Amino acid sequence: MKQREEVSSMRKSQVGTGSRSEKIRTYNYKDSRCSDHRTKNNFNLFEVLDGELEEAIQSMITLDQQEQLQDLADSLK
């Protein structure tokens, strides 16, 4: 029972509520733009839809590395 509650709690924290404030990406067809709200970058919508994701993936890798460096710096304080 305790394990089930822990798994349920973990799942809820990962899924989120789906509210508008938790959005990750916006696809704007009018401006041919895909906006990633985590990295605050814009990409060409049609390239993203065609599967050309290297630029978007690299921006996420950069963001992840920055967060890891910040966590390391915080842990050394």
Residues 42-71: tens digit of each pLDDT: 999 999 999 999 999 999 999 999 999 999
Element (H, E) at 27: strand 25-28
Q: What is the pTM (predicted TM-score) of this model?
A: 0.67
Domain hosting residue 46, numbered range: 23-77
CA-to-CA separations, 67 to 17, 33, 71, in angstroms, rounded: 23, 26, 6
Distance CA 74, CA 54 (A): 30
Residue 27 within a domain: yes
Answer whether residue 61 is part of any domain. yes
The answer to whether residue 64 is domain-embedded is: yes
Residue 10, token pair as written in the block: 């973990």
Q: Count of domains in the chain?
A: 1
